[in-house]
């Protein structure tokens, strides 16, 4: 796992997982929200966004979290590992509401500078509809990529915690083995 993308619904915990993996594996993380959104929720032009993303993916190792479906194929092409956080819509909606409350009037971590947390009906609807509208396409693309990529499909926070623990244990064992 050297080039990892983390995808899933809003509120699934992609950025949090990316940070954890970055620390465990000592790999740089890029959060697509932080790259795309300029202060005041001003979007970056698509061409500029894609160029920034491509430059980052030229590195030997990276972790990229975020959706941005228009760039999924590019990220899939360059990744060796895909982690899909496939959580229930109820949990994800709960988390985006909680996040809005926690970061009221502030910019949350991993978000573009000057983008105070907000929650609008369109985003709530997007998260609610994700399992029906976005998930089938994601699953199709992952099925196509599974012969060439390491696909990790996590269906609950409990599975994610187990995945992180196993990764920490294997990394620790690797470190101890290399010390001799």
What is the model's pTM? 0.91
pLDDT digits (tens, 9 = 90+) for 104-141: 888 888 887 888 888 889 999 999 999 999 999 999 99
Tell whether the model's pLDDT for residue 175 goes beyond 80: no
Q: Answer whether 84's CB lies under 8 Å from 138's CB.
A: yes
Read off the pLDDT of residues 5-55 as tens digits, 9 standing for 90 and up. 999 999 999 999 999 999 999 999 999 999 999 999 999 999 999 999 999
| C-alpha separations of 78 from 42, 61, 180 in Å | 27, 11, 34
Sign, CA dihedral 143-144-150-154, equals negative
- Considering only CA atoms, give the Rg of the chain: 16
* Domains of the chain with CATH codes: 3-156 (3.40.50.300)
CA–CA separation, 27 vs 51, rounded Å?
Answer: 21
Residues 9, 88 contacting (CB under 8 angstroms): no
Mean pLDDT over 57-69 rounds to: 95
Could you tell me the pLDDT band of residue 72, with boundaries at 50, 70 and 90? very high
pLDDT at 178 exceeding the cut of 80: no
Residue 142, token pair as written in the block: 């992952």
């Amino acid at each position: 796992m050297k080039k990892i993308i983390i995808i899933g619904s809003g509120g699934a915990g992609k950025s949090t997982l990316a940070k954890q993996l970055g620390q465990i594996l000592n790999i740089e993380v890029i959060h697509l929200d932080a790259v795309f959104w300029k202060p005041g929720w001003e979007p970056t032009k698509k061409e500029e966004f894609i160029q920034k993303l491509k430059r980052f993916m030229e590195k030997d190792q990276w972790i990229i979290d975020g959706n941005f479906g228009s760039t999924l194929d590019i990220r899939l092409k360059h990744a060796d590992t895909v982690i899909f956080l496939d959580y229930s819509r109820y949990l994800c909606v709960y988390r985006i509401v909680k996040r809005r409350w926690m970061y009221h009037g502030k910019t949350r971590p991993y978000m573009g500078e000057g983008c105070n947390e907000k929650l609008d009906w369109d985003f709530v609807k997007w998260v609610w509809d994700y399992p029906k509208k976005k998930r089938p396409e994601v699953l199709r693309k992952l099925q196509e990529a599974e012969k060439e990529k390491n696909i990790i499909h996590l269906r609950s926070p409990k599975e994610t915690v187990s995945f992180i623990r196993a990764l920490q244990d294997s990394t620790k064992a690797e470190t101890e083995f290399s010390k001799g």
